[in-house]
Amino acid sequence: MFLKDRPLVLPASAFNDQRDIGQFIAAGGFDVGHWRNKSIVVAFENIQKREGQEVRLIRSVMITPDFSEGEVVLTDMYTQQEVVVQRVETGDRSVAD
């Protein structure tokens, strides 16, 4: 998955995950005429440690690149909570979508 011509990798800390999020189960966008046409919606597996157990969730978030360079707004599609995060720069490593 690419956003603004760079691999999209979300920081693990945004989801209390064990690893940065760079692989997605599904992704979609909005029609060019829709006011959110620069946003995308992604679904991914979120692996968390809770009370000594590993919990696996499927998360859906809307990603909007409306802030300064390298920052994106994440909107949780279930809770509608929003957070601004610095996307992870991948450097030379390969990221699959």
Task: For the chain, give the percent of residues with pLDDT over 70.
Answer: 89
Q: Indicate the pLDDT class of residue 65, thresholds 50, 70 and 90.
A: confident
* Closest listed residue to residue 77, CA positions, set 65, 63, 67: 63
Q: Indicate the pLDDT class of residue 90, thresholds 50, 70 and 90.
A: low
Say what the pTM is.
Answer: 0.74
Distances (CA, A) of 72 to 28, 39, 40, 50, 58: 16, 10, 11, 27, 20
* Mean of pLDDT values over 36-52: 88
* Mean of pLDDT values over 20-44: 86
pLDDT at residue 27 above 70? yes
